[in-house]
Amino acid sequence: MREYLIASIVIVATATSAFAGGAKYYVEKDTVGNCSVVDSKPSASAGMTILGNKGGYATKDEAVKALNALPKGKCKGVVG
C-alpha cells in the first residue's frame, strides 16, 4: 500500500511540473490599442500584436513587468 502512495505522489509531482513548464504569458496589443497580459499566444489574424518577448514570458509576473516597462503612449490603456 505504501508503494502505491509513493508512486502516486511521484506521478502527480511529475505531471504538475510538466504542465507548469509549458505555460507562457504574452503582452498583447489589441486592435483598439489597449494592452494586456494573456496566457495564450495572440492571433495575428485577429489583429492582435505581441509586444516585448515574442516567445512569451515564463511567469505572469515577468509579463506584467514587461507591460509596465513599455514606453508611454505605446498603449491607449491597460486591460485586466
Q: Decide: 35 and 19 in contact? Cβ < 8 Å.
A: no
pTM of the model: 0.70
Q: How far apart are CA 77 and CA 74, in angstroms?
A: 9
pLDDT at residue 16 in the model: 45
Q: With left for phi above 0 and alpha for psi between -120 and 50, is residue 35 left, alpha or beta? A: beta
What pLDDT score does 66 carry?
Answer: 96
Q: Is 33 helix (H, G, I), strand (E, B) or coil?
A: coil
**48-79 per-position pLDDT tens digit:** 999 999 999 999 999 999 999 999 999 999 99
Quick: pLDDT tens for 7-62. 445 454 444 444 556 789 999 999 999 999 999 998 888 899 999 999 999 999 99
Q: Which three cell numbers stand for residue 9?
A: 505522489
